[in-house]
Structure 1
Amino acid sequence: MDPALAALTDAPFTYPEVGATRTGDLPAGVHVARRRAVVGRGDAAFDRAVAAVLDWAPQRHAGLRVRASGPAGTEGAVVLMTAGLPPLGLRIPCRVVWTCTEGDRQGYAYGTLPGHPESGEESFVVSRDGEDVVFEMVAFSRLATRAARLGGPVSRVLQSIALTRYTAAVRKAARG
């Protein structure tokens, strides 16, 4: 395994509410972002959307470089995303907290690890609503680093842009 990923395997999460995106019981006093979009229709669109989500396609489409110890559908998989140009790029380490890989609702959530500019969790779920294929994201976070806190509103704008790009990636995949 990549040494950078191996070093994160047992790193502690940077927030106490691990798994909260699964239950929907989000903590008070955090920034919450939600997105829900119909991305396609039918079985084939559902299968393509799920495959994209579980292969880190939304993150790659958002312009992040992704190194992962496994697919997103593997609980405990570590992912180290990088934004910007190496070696000065922003490191974004996370670990998969929960997965759901069967039935009409599939996806996962990852939680932040030390070094991430935010502290919290983000879920990526594809589900069916009749014939419609729906992609949903729920994120809660606190700004964790001095740079993120100084960037304040800019950090939130960047998160919103990322969520829009994630949705576009899943929509593109669903449509084939």
Structure 2
Amino acid sequence: MPVPGGSGREFNYPDVGAGRDDVSPAGYRSLEMVRELGTGDQIFDAASRRLFGWQMHRAAGIRLARSTPPPAPGVDVRLEWGVGPIRASAWCRVVDVVDEPDRRGFAYGTLAGHPESGEETFLVERDTDARVTARITAFSRPARWYTRLAGPLGRLVQRRITQRYLDGIADDQW
């Protein structure tokens, strides 16, 4: 369902919000990548700021408008990537935000026209020993003919971009 003031697009998958359950719905491939960031409040706070400021996306080579608001339920975000004049874009909508003392993050789902269909969740977590990790989980499946055609190469690209997101969360002056 479109959101007032949003992109006007609808979700391109029926399992909206399923990422909260940490189990991929049937018919999707799943992905989980975790990276230890260090220990302490400063690292947790800095990583959280990079996450909510979209810096991890920008560090991965994904362009977002400077006016993109911080993640909040219902916020639509236009992601762009490419080289030089050859650019592609896709829309996502934030479906969930986590703001707990030791866990911060958000999930977004893909909208009509996106090359994939599914959700991606981005979390920064602090355990009882103050160790900080970044965790990205996703469930997805191809939504366009060219992503179906890409097959295993598409999954490789998804893993590479996810690794770059993790690098972007970690890359700060602690």
In the superposition, the TM-score normalised over structure 1's length comes to 0.89
Partner of 1:153: 152
Q: Is 1:79 matched up with 2:77?
A: yes
Q: Structure 1 residue runs of 4+, over 4 Å off?
A: none
Q: Identity of counterpart residues, as a percentage? A: 39
The RMSD of aligned alpha carbons is: 1.8
Identify the match of residue 50 of structure 1 among 38, 48, 51. Answer: 48
Q: Distance in 1 between matches of 2:43 and 2:6?
A: 37
Partner of 1:112: 110
Task: Determine if contact 1:40/1:171 at 8 Å carries over to the other structure.
Answer: no
Q: Is 1:18 matched up with 2:16?
A: yes
Q: Which structure features the higher share of helix residues?
A: 1
Shift of 1:55: 0.9
Task: Determine if contact 1:21/1:123 at 8 Å carries over to the other structure.
Answer: yes
Q: Distance in 2 between matches of 1:39 and 1:167?
A: 9
Alignment of 1:107-146 (within 5 A): 107-129=105-127, 130-146=129-145
Shift of 1:82: 0.7
In the superposition, the TM-score normalised over structure 2's length comes to 0.90
Partner of 2:101: 103
Q: Residues 20-54 of structure 1: CA distance to partner in whole angstroms, max 9, x if unpaired?
A: 11122320121101011111210010000001001
Partner of 2:168: 169
Q: Is 1:94 matched up with 2:92?
A: yes
Taking a change above 3 Å as real, the CA distance of residues 125 and 7 of structure 1, as seen in their structure-2 partners, is closer
Shift of 1:76: 1.1
Query: Aligned letter for 2:141?
Result: R
Instruction: Show structure 2 runs of 5+ residues with no match.
Output: none
Taking a change above 3 Å as real, the CA distance of residues 13 and 86 of structure 1, as seen in their structure-2 partners, is farther
Q: Distance in 2 between matches of 1:88 and 1:7?
A: 25
Task: Determine if contact 2:60/2:164 at 8 Å carries over to the other structure.
Answer: yes
Identify the match of residue 58 of structure 2 among 41, 57, 60. Answer: 60
For 1:164, what is the secondary structure of its paired residue? helix
For 2:64, what is the secondary structure of its paired residue? strand
Taking a change above 3 Å as real, the CA distance of residues 53 and 7 of structure 1, as seen in their structure-2 partners, is closer
Taking a change above 3 Å as real, the CA distance of residues 33 and 87 of structure 1, as seen in their structure-2 partners, is same
Q: Distance in 2 between matches of 1:168 and 1:12?
A: 31
Partner of 1:3: none
Shift of 1:87: 5.4
Shift of 1:115: 1.1
